[in-house]
Structure 1
Amino acid sequence: MSLDTETSSKPHERLAAVLQDDLAAVDRLIRERMASETAPRIPEVTAHLVNAGGKRVRPMLTLASARLCGYEGENHHRLAATVEFIHTATLLHDDVVDESRQRRGRPTANLLWDNKSSVLVGDYLFARSFKLMVETGSLRVLDILSDAAATIAEGEVLQLTAAANLSTTEDIYLKVVRGKTAALFAAASEVGGVIAGVEEAQVSALRTYGDALGIAFQMADDLLDYEGDVALTGKNLGDDFRERKLTLPVIKAVARSDPEERSFWKRTIEKGDQRDGDLAQAMDLIRRHGTLEDTRSEALAWSAQAKSALEVLPEHELRDLMADLADYVVARIS
């Protein structure tokens, strides 16, 4: 990667620079469609989250995929706004379910307003997203994005049932990740190719790219909870352990545990009886069984799969940036 001033920024920042006109059009559309004369609280709550400084990676995947495939209309703006509305709606609902008090360094909407407002505004954004999908006139796009919305909800419900359950397997973990994170990455990438009307192999490649990118991103995030730099991640080391989340490093450690170790995990994760020194012991067990290294290897493999999927697509600056993005999501753990 070049080190000159123009290209030394992060891949998502360079992607935003290349797509700046498209992103400006999407922002205008988002602000127009989140308005409500009947219920002023809707734009207030939505703006709080939309303006919170997110990277807009998901809508950029839609814009980049469409442009990469030669699309020159305006429906990719509608689809990018759709993707952002779906993402924002899920964040509003997630913060209620998780009883979160902070997101992106700011108080959550449910804390500033209330749970009812967060849930209902999330519902409104889902409804708005379906209106935008319909305006593209593509039943296939509607099928892809509505299926993604359902998959996200399934992933959240599955996570509820799998949470703090030591019988949770790596297969279940992957289903949760595909639901919570990868489904929208995959759909956002896929619909760009669909509206561009490219051949099926390229549409499939874009979906594979988004799916693998989302999985790599989540695995890297889970790994960093046990070995990340707080200044870089914004998360306290061991937050997932304290919140009794069964992420991949712990699932692997539980699967390899002896009876004494399993009783430790049962007490701390299943029963929630955590004491001084437990995080250090959890870290010791995770390191002893090599699960951080294994999680890192899997995240890197998913990143490589995302990059490989792009090879059937046209050579283009945007393709290179999308490949760089796959490297970037795992750069912190490489």
Structure 2
Amino acid sequence: MLDRLRGDVPAKRHNARTIAALTGNPGCSRRAVLDAAGVDKPKLAEHIGFPMGFGQSRFALARGNGFEAMLKADGCLLLLSVLSGVLGIDPGDAGYDDLGADDDATLAARHERTRQLLTAPPSGHGAAQPSPSGGEAAAARAALIDHPLLTLDVAGRTVFLEPDLIAFQARGRLHVVEIKSFAIVDDQADSAKVSAAAVQAAVYVLALRRLLAELGHDPALVSHDVVLVCPRDFSLTPQAVVIDVRKQLATLKRQLTRLASVSELAAGLPAGTSFDVALPPAELVASLRRVEARYAPECLSACELAVFCRHESAGSTAALGRPVRDALGGVETVAEALELAAGTRTPTEEQVEAAALLQAAARLRAEIG
């Protein structure tokens, strides 16, 4: 059913960024269905006349790719030296496994290889080595897994996820390592970018913990402390910082449980609903309007269809933001709100509280004005 909604085009895969955006607005059935069906939302938005303007420039992408390539050159030698300061990894004693570049054709193989590496200890881990006293001691060695592939169940669908790296700290603790191209200047970084990176890293931590549980290991072996590696100041010199993502993990788990099953949503759509970008724009718009959206201004920085949804929700209280929508529960439109504030509309039972709030605000405005 979901594949049919997309049409005869390859599916766009979920990633940590899309999951973070989806869980940030779990009431949006439209995004849940489109993402689960693998619809190319940027192309869809452009085709219906509402292109989205956000995203990294090609220069920022090139800088980010160059920074990551520099860190991972020569078996991650530079990255290991950076991680040694925050994880205690000895660069000379660390194993390194590269599972290969991202490719849809190798998803199953890379996921299975990731499972194998996590089932067995990292290179040298648990091996008996002589202690200074001549006895035997279990010496845990560090290791890095590059291009690992994890899975996570999102709204009834299994999605593949690829963190930048998984690092085994000494004694077998696992840390998610994220490489970002935004700079840390004077030990400060853009708070919005750090917050977004933390949520994305939390997605990987959750997926990794669930994989360990599936393999019969203690999920707590995956640390809630993730490592963010960014350029320092205005150079490409790397700097590693540790971020605690326990808050993001709690929010993520709560929101994932609230997401309705996408299969149930798709099954309830009217016949003829399709998001095939080969269709005329009018048909696509009609199909989009059959799936409930939950627009908020925050969507403009997270969803490629936000411009269309904003246009569609013009005149609604929801378009003014979640705080307004929550405060005016039961009042769907701005016109209703103005009439209730002026006392020219009799509120329904569910609008009584909101009407009192609006009328109080109107009186206060009149006194000030």
TM-score, length-scaled by structure 1: 0.26
Higher strand content, 1 or 2: 2
TM-score, length-scaled by structure 2: 0.24
Higher helix content, 1 or 2: 1
Which structure has the larger Rg over C-alpha atoms? 2
